[in-house]
Structure 1
Amino acid sequence: MKTKMIKDPIHGSIEFEGQFELELKNMLSNPYFQRLRRVKQLGFSDHVFPSATHSRFAHSLGVYAVAKRLLAIVEPDVKRGEWSQQGKACLAAALLHDIGHGMFSHAFEKAMGLYAIRNPGLKDSPLMAAVDHEKVSPQIIIDSSIGCALEKMGGVGFPKMVANMISKKDKQCIYTSLVSGQLDADRLDYAKRDPYFAGVSSGGIDLDWLMRNFQVSDGDNGRFLYVDSKAYVSLEQFTVTLFQLYPTLYLHKRTRGIEYMFALLMSRVFERIAGDDEKQAGLTANHALVRFFRDPANLENALLLDDSLFWGSLHLFQEADDSEIKTIATRIASRNFYSMHDIWKHADDAAADNPKMKTLDASARVKVLNAVCKKVSEDLQKQTKIWSESCYYDNYPRKLYTPLNKEGGDPQQINVEVGGKVVDIVSISPIVASAARFSIHRVYYDEAEEGLRGHLEAAICAGVRDRLDEQLKDGA
């Protein structure tokens, strides 16, 4: 049977061979999958890293390519794509794992989250469910034309099997771990793809070396992949690379600021639609955003949610009668973004001159600074004479690795064999065991509000000094 190939700058040739894989290849033409061409993998990151314009479509193909290599280790005797039923579901899940992402990926979920904060009572509503890609993806896989295609490939229960792997219904299943785990095809692709297209340096991942050293074993917690001690450094490098991409790329201050302005704009647009006043937002009753808002459970409306929908509507928002919508849209279009105060930086500067801080090790220092930043942010939001509707506190914690510490191996941990025993990598890697973590603590605000910049900065500086003294006194 003929083999089809797609060229990729990360993995070289992505091959589809055998009847099942060719059927997966044909599914790329499905409208739900084609929509991913119009959803950027990194949302607004290209406003900071101009070449970071790669799509969820390309990433999904990359995840498929990595999953296929991992599957070949789990099922080493398979030739020409004749995988087991679980193996086939694994490949389909890898290809479809992001099928439910909305415009600008996670930024759209953030926008709906802000709308829910401004309009309480929406937590379990169909609208909130319709922007959660973890809920939308299984729905598309089971209930849309994607589900019909999968059913023809693998039978009546096949779409649900695929959806369950993406949803991690069985965490002890090795096939699930290849798609969704701490060392899965998703992470192995984007940890290489994202820095490549963004043009940022990272520790890198020696994917070929890992593939040569992965082995399969059985344990009390199911089958799992592992490497022996000679290759564990490559796994260590993987965890560090992924960790460092967060402050460098994913949580870049400018990107997060644009995401907030997008969220603020969209939440205001949704408020107008909810009030049957979409004309004030510059929209007609038939506009895709209006149709989605009023019938979010309809998957046909989900098909319309891509990045081009927003950019194609931006000029409408700029002409809106609603002044808030008009102002924010104009600022986004002209790259006139909100200003930001980094609470962590203020705390870090204050700590540099504090004798007690100099006696702490790195872990204790980070713990103190994080506590200071949290307290300062809480205090700031209570100061009603300073804190306004335009202010936004951005916090995101990230740790290097989540240990399970299951001796004998587990599909959901990174496994290393040492001394004849398979253990969690945290047991033998000093770097992973360091429990390294960081958090961002930033305040974005509209500097057009008279005096706001100075008032915020003064309050943050004073708060940092007081809370730092308090933390060091309590810890003494």
Structure 2
Amino acid sequence: MDLVENAANVKPKPQRIRDPLHNLIEFSSDHFEHTLWQIIQTSPFQRLRRIKQLGFSEFVFPGATHTRFAHSLGVFHTSRLLMDVIRKYVNTHQQQYREPQANHALTAALLHDVGHGMFSHAFEAIGKEFGWPMAKHEEVSQRLIREGEIADLLDKEFGKGYAGNVADIIAQGIPDNLYGSVVSSQFDADRLDYMQRDRLMTGVQSSGVDLTWLLANLEVAEVQTGADETSIGSVETLVLGPKAAQAAESYVLGLFHLYPNVYLHKTTRGAEVLFQALMRRIVDLNTNGFSEKTGLPARHPILRFVSDPTDLNNALLLDDTVFWGALPLFLEADDDEIRRLSTSLRDRHMCSCVDLRSRVEAQLPLVTEERRDKRIARTKIICDDIVAELKKINEEATGKPARFLIDQYVRNPYKRFQDSRTQLNQILIRLSPDKVTDMAELSPVIAHAEPFSVCRVYTFRDDTDAHGVIENIMRTKIQEGEKL
């Protein structure tokens, strides 16, 4: 009995993880961080080791093999640094550090990505197309936190209802208090980690983040919750001192540049559209009772998921290794399209890419004194019309694989207050003791930054007529667009 009691009273050892970005990520022996260490050991969290952070980006950047597991640990580490700023502020301003709220946010930071599926956003995009609830990572993350192994551990160690409070932070998306902004805002721990980590692992030399300087100039301020005369109160939020204004501007522009350079690289996106086309074909065969033609056995995790995408357990069966492990089976499938698409992915035989947006913008005749926003709008309308025609061609080829694979995406580099409706989501700069300004008002570069827009079409290289079809449609739509 004495041995049992002594074992129960032994203080757990602190733990350390060596990280390529942050060096040492440490978990102390106190109850809170030791419990988070136990959360890391759970099966749902360990699953993140088998999901790459950047999906197919290693097709372009061989070093980009880092995982959602490593990123999640980095987000927790960065969130602690941000919480230290909050703790220091309240301690020097005779205010109370709200430890329960802080711990909820720190736990949410660790678990924010626990629901990601195989190949992350590429899988999420095809899931949105089919309306699969268990392909949306925020939804799966909430489920995993509210029920099962993680929920049981959190509620056991911290009290009933704790897991639900953590899940609520992820569910709300936009923060509603100072502590929640550490997890989800335009200056949150998630973004601060993945920007640095993705830059490091891909090897790109732009998009640097001066985190040391940003943290050194980070403080807490009370700001109005409305806009000028419509203010209805105030809220405490993180703000940057005036010396960090340029570093903050570089941070936003760095994220903006990561999109064309890394996240939306045409080859990476080309691999994603191949993967999504393969998933569509699997769904089509399975729906029509020909699942055996996929080459997969009836109980394979991919078939189990597409047969019932509402089952959380089916979602947890999927990760990158499951897909790559299925590749030899796809290569021997009875279906020609399954074999063609899987061979392309195996051998990195990418489709030919036509950048519609840049082609249309270059060929669209100039209009005297036309404003830039008007020209962008005309370009978008024409691109949308071309895409609609190409999709129509796909649909008319009944029973045949899609001839044109479409890739459209828009990313705004910075959300203005009118979009997010809360100061907690903004990047604010303190110009003087009593004046705090949104950086979009302070930086003309950020204020006038256009959304980054992609509109591409991918065609198979053996389809020698495909480019001619696209050119003819483009020429017609540009002529029609001249009248807009």
How far apart are residue 215 of structure 1 and its match?
0.7
Any idea what SS the aligned residue of 1:226 has? strand
Equivalent position amino acid for 2:52 in 1:
K
Any idea what SS the aligned residue of 2:253 has? helix
Counterpart CA distance in 1 for 2:174 and 2:362 is 47
How far apart are residue 423 of structure 1 and its match?
2.3
1:340-398, CA deviations, whole angstroms, 9 ceiling, x for partnerless residues? 211123124325xx5547x6676555444334433433355456899882212211111
Q: Which residue of structure 1 aligns with residue 110 of structure 2?
A: 95
Any idea what SS the aligned residue of 1:14 has? strand
How far apart are residue 445 of structure 1 and its match?
2.1
Counterpart CA distance in 2 for 1:257 and 1:325 is 17
Equivalent position amino acid for 2:76 in 1:
Y
Q: Does the alignment pair 1:26 with 2:47? A: no
Over aligned residues, Cα RMSD in angstroms?
A: 2.5
> Is the 1:172–1:410 contact (alpha carbons within 8 Å) kept by the matching residues of 2?
no
Counterpart CA distance in 1 for 2:345 and 2:163 is 40
Q: Percent identity?
A: 38
Counterpart CA distance in 2 for 1:24 and 1:325 is 42
1:194-226, CA deviations, whole angstroms, 9 ceiling, x for partnerless residues? 111111122311101111111112343522100
Q: Does the alignment pair 1:193 with 2:207? A: no
Equivalent position amino acid for 1:267 in 2:
R
Counterpart CA distance in 2 for 1:356 and 1:296 is 50
Counterpart CA distance in 1 for 2:316 and 2:446 is 41
Q: Which residue of structure 1 aligns with residue 356 of structure 2?
A: 343
**TM-score, with structure 2 as normaliser:** 0.87
> Is the 2:389–2:473 contact (alpha carbons within 8 Å) kept by the matching residues of 1?
no
Any idea what SS the aligned residue of 1:186 has? helix
Q: Does the alignment pair 1:63 with 2:75? A: yes
Equivalent in 300, 304, 319 of residue 313 of structure 2: 300
Q: Which residue of structure 2 aligns with residue 456 of structure 1?
A: 470
Q: Which runs of 5+ in 2 are unaligned?
A: 1-10, 92-96, 224-232
> Is the 1:370–1:439 contact (alpha carbons within 8 Å) kept by the matching residues of 2?
no
Equivalent in 378, 383, 387 of residue 373 of structure 1: 383
Q: Which residue of structure 1 aligns with residue 49 of structure 2?
A: 37
> Is the 2:394–2:402 contact (alpha carbons within 8 Å) kept by the matching residues of 1?
no
Query: What is the 5 A alignment of 1:183-262?
Result: 183-219=187-223, 220-262=233-275
Counterpart CA distance in 2 for 1:211 and 1:248 is 26
Counterpart CA distance in 1 for 2:403 and 2:389 is 17
Equivalent in 460, 463, 466 of residue 446 of structure 1: 460
**TM-score, with structure 1 as normaliser:** 0.88
> Is the 1:394–1:440 contact (alpha carbons within 8 Å) kept by the matching residues of 2?
yes
> Is the 2:394–2:404 contact (alpha carbons within 8 Å) kept by the matching residues of 1?
no
Counterpart CA distance in 1 for 2:203 and 2:475 is 35
Any idea what SS the aligned residue of 2:38 has? helix
Equivalent position amino acid for 2:179 in 1:
Y
Equivalent position amino acid for 2:262 in 1:
L
Q: Which residue of structure 1 aligns with residue 447 of structure 2?
A: 433
Equivalent position amino acid for 2:165 in 1:
M
Query: What is the 5 A alignment of 1:359-438?
Result: 365-382=375-392, 389-404=402-417, 410-419=423-432, 420-438=434-452
Greater displacement, 58-67 / 282-291: 282-291
Any idea what SS the aligned residue of 1:75 has? helix
Q: Which residue of structure 2 aligns with residue 120 of structure 1?
A: none
The 1:49/1:172 distance shift into structure 2, 3 A limit, reads: same
Q: Which residue of structure 1 aligns with residue 160 of structure 2?
A: 156
Greater displacement, 134-143 / 290-299: 290-299
Any idea what SS the aligned residue of 2:55 has? coil
Counterpart CA distance in 2 for 1:221 and 1:379 is 51
Counterpart CA distance in 1 for 2:390 and 2:332 is 35
Q: Which residue of structure 1 aligns with residue 3 of structure 2?
A: none
Q: Which residue of structure 2 aligns with residue 4 of structure 1?
A: 15
> Is the 1:4–1:16 contact (alpha carbons within 8 Å) kept by the matching residues of 2?
yes
How far apart are residue 229 of structure 1 and its match?
1.9
Any idea what SS the aligned residue of 2:254 has? helix
Q: Does the alignment pair 1:326 with 2:339? A: yes
Equivalent in 121, 126, 129 of residue 106 of structure 1: 121
Equivalent position amino acid for 1:57 in 2:
F
1:84-122, CA deviations, whole angstroms, 9 ceiling, x for partnerless residues? 1111111110010000000000111223344x2xxxxxx
Q: Does the alignment pair 1:316 with 2:326? A: no
Greater displacement, 18-27 / 89-98: 18-27
The 1:222/1:21 distance shift into structure 2, 3 A limit, reads: same
Greater displacement, 295-304 / 238-247: 295-304
Q: Which runs of 5+ in 1 are unaligned?
A: 117-122, 472-476
Any idea what SS the aligned residue of 1:448 has? coil
The 1:164/1:258 distance shift into structure 2, 3 A limit, reads: same
> Is the 2:128–2:135 contact (alpha carbons within 8 Å) kept by the matching residues of 1?
no
